[in-house]
Chains A and B, each alone.
Chain A
Amino acid sequence: MNTTTVIVGSSIGGVRAAQSLRLEGYEGEIILVGEDAELPYDKPPLSKAVLAGKAEESSIRLLTREQAEDARIQLVLGHAATGIDVAGKLLLLEDHEPLRFDNLVIATGASARPSPWGQRPGIHVLRSLDDARKLRADLLKGGQLAVIGAGFIGAEAAATARSLGLEVTVIDPLPIPMSRIFNPEIGHWFGDLHRNNGVTTIFGTGVEAIEGEQGSFTLRLTNGQKVEAATVLVGIGAVPNDAWLGSSGLLVDNGVVLDEYCRAVDAPQVYGVGDVARWRHSKHGEDIRIEHWTNAVEQAACVAYNITHPDSPRAYTPVEYVWSDQHDWKIQVVGRVGGNAEHITIGDPETHGRFAALYTSDGVNLRGAAIVNWPKALLACRRGMATGITVEELRETLQPLLEPRPKVAL
């Protein structure tokens, strides 16, 4: 009997789930549903090459119509899913008849957290291709850019805007940027990176209000300071797109809640991948949700495997990985960093132009690492995380590789 897998969400998680199903030899029908009418596209370049105007939009397509046809992936784009009838195995859609499924993959990702300071022309968020087009159009008009939030996306957009010659101010309520992710020492280096590249930074201060209109905004800060800006980017994080699951009866708690095999805890024929998925990481012993590209890809492969091997499913236990490009830094984070973990750093940005911060929670074993501009260290850490390695062993490997090299920046 022919089975049908319906995948909701036509971005990296959904597209890869469809492709991986075919790779695993799945013979049934595959229907990929997306709210966005655009052909599936990739998001990381939106704050980097696409915003800079260095990449054609065609270069970020994840799936062309021909590729979809060749892989027998049916596209239903421009229709939002509105609910699931779990017992009746139906996916309900806006302006479209319901789709019957045997297996359903939820890959609806996340949305940018909206601006709490009003939403009007000139105040941007950055999540979709359309967001990137609009922001770029405003950047090209020139004038000051104010970025609220010094997280990955805010910091990348600030760096890109500098490369376009704009004056940029980054504002973040945290006194030390990225200190929710890293320890203060590394956070300070991120602050230096911005300032060394001509970004004005205002840290430890929140935004109270955005006044004025496009072209002449005034941001009123909590310390009384005022910042003028022609354009504002609000980069204050993302929220999972799980509201549409409200009536489904599935357990939703900051993402759809899944078991260790990425199946909905109360409906084993429903799976989840990517930014919307909160699953039980059996090695960490907790439910986690990750908003990074590589996780969406690896989780999609695992779900495809589990759909095609229902009798011998694989638990999903990835080592977290994310990269970010800011100014001339290639930043890569492996495993779990920050928090209460102790750390040592090898190299530093001033002398070596590269460094690795190695984190441990038991004082011995590597738990995570943050690496800047150092491919060999990245590889050693990713391999070490996969097989288990002590911080001391890694230090012995990496320290001899360090040679002073002139900084590229400044």
Chain B
Amino acid sequence: MPVVKADLQACQGYANCVVGATDYFDLDDDGIVILLRTEVPESERARVTEAARSCPVSALVVED
């Protein structure tokens, strides 16, 4: 199953990902992304990939 990965060093807390897929991403108190789930069923790939691509600093990828 595809998985979503986050580069916590790169994350700047813009929250675009959270707005895009609130069931996958959240922010901690310092404004760093939290992955609520990592496995992405094929049926959700498009939605989660769009959310990951909305990250302004490319901190998120959906990989096979």
Query: A residues touching B (Cβ–Cβ < 8 Å)?
Result: 16, 19-20, 23-24, 44, 293-294, 297-298, 301, 321, 323, 330, 332, 375-376, 378-379, 382-383, 386
Instruction: Give the CA-CA distance A293 to B49 in the complex, in Å.
Output: 17
Known contacts A332-B14, A382-B15; is A375 also within 8 Å of B53 by CB? no
Tell me whether B31 is interfacial, beta carbon within 8 Å.
yes
Q: Which 10 A-B pairs rank lowest in CB-CB distance, beginning with the nearest?
A: A375-B31, A375-B13, A23-B46, A297-B54, A379-B15, A379-B27, A375-B27, A382-B19, A301-B50, A382-B15
A378 touches B56 (CB 8 A): no
Tell me whether B64 is interfacial, beta carbon within 8 Å.
no
Known contacts A375-B29, A375-B31; is A23 also within 8 Å of B50 by CB? yes
Question: What are 26 A-B contacts defined by CB distance under 8 Å?
Answer: A16-B53, A20-B53, A23-B46, A293-B56, A294-B16, A294-B54, A294-B56, A297-B16, A298-B54, A301-B50, A323-B14, A323-B56, A330-B12, A376-B27, A376-B31, A378-B13, A378-B15, A378-B31, A379-B18, A379-B26, A379-B27, A382-B15, A382-B18, A382-B19, A383-B18, A383-B19
* Nearest CB in chain B: distance from A112 CB, A: 20
A297 touches B53 (CB 8 A): yes
User: Which residue on chain B has the smallest CB distance to residue A386?
Assistant: B19
The DSSP consensus for interface residues of chain A is helix
Known contacts A375-B30, A376-B29, A379-B15; is A24 also within 8 Å of B56 by CB? no
Q: Point out the residues of chain A lying under 8 angstroms from B46, CB to CB.
A: 23-24
* Nearest CB in chain A: distance from B58 CB, A: 9
**In chain B, residues 22-46, which have Cβ atoms closer than 8 Å to a Cβ of chain A?**
22, 26-27, 29-31, 46
Q: Point out the residues of chain B lying under 8 angstroms from A330, CB to CB.
A: 12-13
Q: Point out the residues of chain B lying under 8 angstroms from A386, CB to CB.
A: 19
Query: B residues touching A (Cβ–Cβ < 8 Å)?
Result: 12-16, 18-19, 22, 26-27, 29-31, 46, 49-50, 53-54, 56
Given A23-B49, A321-B19, A386-B19: 14 more A-B contacts, CB < 8 Å:
A24-B46, A44-B56, A293-B56, A294-B56, A297-B16, A297-B53, A298-B54, A301-B50, A323-B14, A375-B27, A379-B27, A383-B18, A383-B19, A383-B22
User: Which residue on chain A has the smallest CB distance to residue B32?
Assistant: A375
Q: Point out the residues of chain A lying under 8 angstroms from B12, CB to CB.
A: 330
* Nearest CB in chain B: distance from A370 CB, A: 15
User: Which residue on chain B has the smallest CB distance to residue A373?
Assistant: B31
Q: Point out the residues of chain B lying under 8 angstroms from A378, CB to CB.
A: 13, 15, 31
Q: Point out the residues of chain A lying under 8 angstroms from B26, CB to CB.
A: 379
Q: Which among B12, B14, B30 has the highest number of chain A CB atoms within 10 Å?
A: B14
Q: Point out the residues of chain A lying under 8 angstroms from B53, CB to CB.
A: 16, 19-20, 297
* Nearest CB in chain B: distance from A275 CB, A: 16
Q: Point out the residues of chain B lying under 8 angstroms from A24, CB to CB.
A: 46
Instruction: Give the CA-CA distance A16 to B52 in the complex, in Å.
Output: 12
Instruction: Give the CA-CA distance A48 to B16 in the complex, in Å.
Output: 19
Q: Point out the residues of chain B lying under 8 angstroms from A298, CB to CB.
A: 54
User: Which residue on chain A has the smallest CB distance to residue B50?
Assistant: A301
* Nearest CB in chain A: distance from B13 CB, A: 4
* Nearest CB in chain B: distance from A141 CB, A: 30
Q: Point out the residues of chain B lying under 8 angstroms from A375, CB to CB.
A: 13, 15, 27, 29-31
Q: Point out the residues of chain A lying under 8 angstroms from B22, CB to CB.
A: 383
Instruction: Give the CA-CA distance A153 to B22 in the complex, in Å.
Output: 30
Q: Point out the residues of chain B lying under 8 angstroms from A297, CB to CB.
A: 16, 53-54
User: Which residue on chain A has the smallest CB distance to residue B19?
Assistant: A382
* Nearest CB in chain B: distance from A25 CB, A: 8
User: Which residue on chain A has the smallest CB distance to residue B51?
Assistant: A301
Q: Point out the residues of chain B lying under 8 angstroms from A19, CB to CB.
A: 53
Instruction: Give the CA-CA distance A263 to B1 in the complex, in Å.
Output: 36
Instruction: Give the CA-CA distance A383 to B23 in the complex, in Å.
Output: 13
Instruction: Give the CA-CA distance A58 to B18 in the complex, in Å.
Output: 27
* Nearest CB in chain A: distance from B32 CB, A: 8
Instruction: Give the CA-CA distance A301 to B51 in the complex, in Å.
Output: 10
Known contacts A16-B53, A23-B50; is A321 also within 8 Å of B30 by CB? no
* Nearest CB in chain A: distance from B19 CB, A: 5
User: Which residue on chain B has the smallest CB distance to residue A297?
Assistant: B54
Instruction: Give the CA-CA distance A23 to B16 in the complex, in Å.
Output: 18
Instruction: Give the CA-CA distance A256 to B28 in the complex, in Å.
Output: 40
* Nearest CB in chain B: distance from A60 CB, A: 9
